[in-house]
Chain A
Amino acid sequence: MARELVVYGISHHRTPVSVRERMASTAERVSEDLKRLLESEVISEGVLLSTCNRVELVAVTEQPHKTREHVMGYFQHRASPEPVIEYVYEHAGTDAVRHMFRVAAGLDSMVLGEPQILGQVKDAVALAQRVGTIGGTLGRCFDRTFSVAKRVRTETEIASGNVSVSSIACELAEKIFSDLAGRKVLLVGAGKMSEVAARSLKARGASLTVINRSPQRAADLAAACGGEARPLEALATELANADVAISSTSNDGYVITYELMQGVAKMRKFRPLFMIDIAVPRDIDPRVEGIRNVFLYDMDDLKRVSQANLAAREQAASDAEQIIETEVRDYGKWLRQLELTPTIVALRERVREVVQREKQKALPRMGQLDPKVQQALDQMCEAIVGQLLHKPLTQLKQSQDGDESTALVAAVQQLFALEVTPAPTVPPPSLPENSKERGKP
């Protein structure tokens, strides 16, 4: 029977978070689930992708109907008592390949073009390799998936710019300071978003100082973020030392006034200072922006940058979809070629084998043959093979570009009882080498 690629999954597009959180799994759980799914022998290869926004099973099966029943049962068991079947989507064949390419390229993500998904897919494949549930078919498919994702990210703007506040903060800081390693970040207040932004900057090598009206809160936050706590009275001094200042307090008025910043700017000899005001109402007097070498961004500014970046990604999405369509077509052709060539070789050999066998049986009955007659007999046998196979082989080769190729190849293999040597197993791709692929969303 023909092997078919199938995808079953749930994602953030339609599935409520209450269902998704039931399905979320650790790596150990994913390993167990994969082994259990393949024990049934309905599925011959499988990769299970489990993230906060999607759970997908990519599988190879020769029994698509039984597989459907089996997989739906698994999803329902995992999501129980939440109903899940109505949210499960399924793709097969070319549609499954297209879906995998789109997911890995970030076109199906909650944040269009986000880079983490590619790393997550690679991790899922590596896990399946360790568990032993990935074989030649899925190996080839994922190999192509990763190169398509890389092509999309390289040739389009789908991954350009950042859309989250913390990553935009890092991006803007890097437009001022290039290297954030060793830079001083001052966190004023205790807002969650500012904490996330400060952590992102710290992850890039910056040092963190926390100032809060409550010394205890400052100490707690500094301990949690790996920074240093300072009292509120040290605000001016710390502003003079900082390279980046992020403010998010619950104060009604300005915490950082224009007059304060005028003094601070002189103290720091007008070295560049990047200020982010995440608070609403604002903590930083907008007039501060007019001070030499002070760059001030508030929430509206960050949202505008985020929207502009998202718009650029959306424009790039149509380019990305075109690349994916081309790659899906090329992959299908390549796959059909892969299936076809061993079948053609096996068919030729089978027919030749039959003709040669009958010739050998008939030769003793013909007695001593003249070399010219022998030669003519051999040529006739070759001609019979060629004539017999011409039409079938032409049909097989022409079917490569269409969807009926796989069915035709399977039919030829079955009708002629061919033993076809499968294509060599492709080892699954290695894990990502650096964290940049998981970096800024």
Chain B
Amino acid sequence: MTVVGITFALGALLYAVACAAFFVHLSRGTKLSARWAMRTLAAAMGAHAAYLISDYAISGRHPLEGIQQTLAVLSLIIALAYLATVRRHGMTAIGAFITPVTLLMLLGAGLRSSLPPVPEHVRSALLPVHVAMNVLGLAAFTLAFAAAVGYVIQERLLRTKHVIGVFQRLPALEELDALGGRFVTIGFPLFTLGLVLGIVWAAQQSALSAGQGFGMLAWLFFGIVLLTRAIAGWNGRRAAIGTMLGFMCAMAALGGYVVRGLGG
């Protein structure tokens, strides 16, 4: 097994362990459980970074060159953004909803494409900027998604009066709603720029596809969430559902690119 393979497998395994550790923390909520979950995540991120570096060193492939590499970079940025969030706002518990996403993205990155690299004559300055903006936007949306999932669960538990159990240590509704709103606000302009650049580039190459359709649908959902929050006071559950739908459309768009990359 190569260095790339080992670091990849180690990263994936550690993300899986971190996910389990965060679920334990969700139910126990002690400082010890939080510490173990964060340490496991840090170890996973270390292996993940080693995978990216070794892949680049050996293959010479630019980190944002293909969809698989992009997925790997995106998942690491999500984990980094989560760490920064915990540092500022606490809410370690939402790591239980972040780590499955980072794990799935890393696993997706392991599915190697049979497509050749983008030909020289169609490359333009737009492409890396489009990819980078989408990556940053999606990272913010992932955190918003995690907060939204937490909100929906916490709200459900409060409504059904089941306040003890696996999810008993979720943060307060207000905190989760505020976090979700904040990250949609951060991600939206980035994602908008990424989407516009992507459409322009694709139009130049006559390469518009269904992927852009899902991307636009995601943009629409997030836009509605922002607008209704600001104008109609649609916070709380409605905003959370909108965020989750937007995120799923974004993931469908991403998934479409992965499948296209695999199928050739």
Contact = CB atoms under 8 A, between A and B. Distances in A.
Interface of A: 154, 160-161, 171-172, 174-178, 269-270, 272, 289, 292-293, 295, 297, 301, 304-305, 308-309, 312
Given A171-B163, A176-B172, A295-B158, 19 more contacts: A160-B168, A161-B164, A175-B158, A175-B163, A175-B170, A175-B173, A176-B174, A178-B171, A178-B172, A178-B175, A270-B233, A272-B173, A292-B236, A292-B238, A293-B237, A295-B159, A297-B161, A304-B161, A305-B164
B236 A270 contact: yes
Interface string B127-165: 000000000000000000000000000100011011110
A174 B154 CA distance: 12
B30 interface: yes
A177 B174 contact: yes
A178 B164 contact: no
B238 to A, nearest CB: 8
Contact of A176 (B30, B168, B173, B237): B173
Contacts of A292: 236-238
Contact of B163 (A177, A178, A270, A305): A305
Interface of B: 30, 32, 154, 158-159, 161-164, 168, 170-175, 233, 235-238
Main secondary structure of the interface of A (DSSP, over half): helix
Nearest to A290: B159
A266 to B, nearest CB: 10
Contacts of A293: 235-237
A435 to B, nearest CB: 19
A176 B172 CA distance: 5
B26 to A, nearest CB: 13
Contacts, number: 54
Contacts of A295: 158-159
9 contacts: A160-B168, A175-B158, A176-B174, A178-B172, A270-B235, A292-B236, A293-B235, A304-B161, A305-B161
Contacts of A178: 171-172, 174-175
A184 to B, nearest CB: 14
A301 B163 CA distance: 11
A304 to B, nearest CB: 6
A84 to B, nearest CB: 40
A174 B175 CA distance: 10
A174 B172 contact: yes
B172 A177 contact: yes
Contacts of B236: 270, 272, 292-293
Contact of A175 (B172, B233, B238): B172
Contacts of B173: 175-177, 272
A172 B172 CA distance: 9
Contacts of B175: 178
Given A175-B158, A305-B163, A272 B174 contact: yes
A45 B32 CA distance: 37
Contacts of A172: 158, 163
Contacts of A272: 173-174, 236
Most-contacted residue by chain A among B174, B237, B238 (CB, 10 A): B174
A175 B162 CA distance: 12
Nearest to A174: B172
Contacts of B32: 154
B233 A269 contact: yes
Contacts of B158: 172, 175-176, 295
A96 B205 CA distance: 84
Contacts of B233: 269-270
Contacts of A177: 172-174
A173 to B, nearest CB: 9
A269 B229 CA distance: 11
Contacts of A176: 158, 172-174
B81 to A, nearest CB: 21
A315 to B, nearest CB: 11
B89 to A, nearest CB: 10
A179 to B, nearest CB: 8
A295 B158 CA distance: 7
Contacts of A301: 161
Contacts of A154: 30, 32
A308 to B, nearest CB: 5
B44 to A, nearest CB: 26
A295 to B, nearest CB: 5
Nearest to B234: A270
A309 B161 CA distance: 12
Contacts of A312: 164
Contacts of B154: 175
Contacts of A161: 164, 168
A158 to B, nearest CB: 13
Contacts of A308: 162-164
Nearest to A294: B159
Contacts of A309: 164
Q: Which 9 A-B pairs have the closest CB atoms?
A: A178-B172, A269-B233, A178-B175, A176-B173, A301-B161, A293-B236, A177-B174, A295-B158, A308-B164
Nearest to A297: B161
Nearest to A175: B172
A289 B161 CA distance: 12
B73 to A, nearest CB: 33
B179 to A, nearest CB: 11
Contacts of A297: 161
Contacts of B172: 174-178
B46 to A, nearest CB: 29
Most-contacted residue by chain B among A160, A309, A312 (CB, 10 A): A160
Nearest to A270: B233
A277 to B, nearest CB: 13
B173 to A, nearest CB: 5
Nearest to A295: B158
Nearest to A311: B164
Contacts of B162: 308
A161 B172 CA distance: 16
B225 to A, nearest CB: 15
A172 B160 CA distance: 13
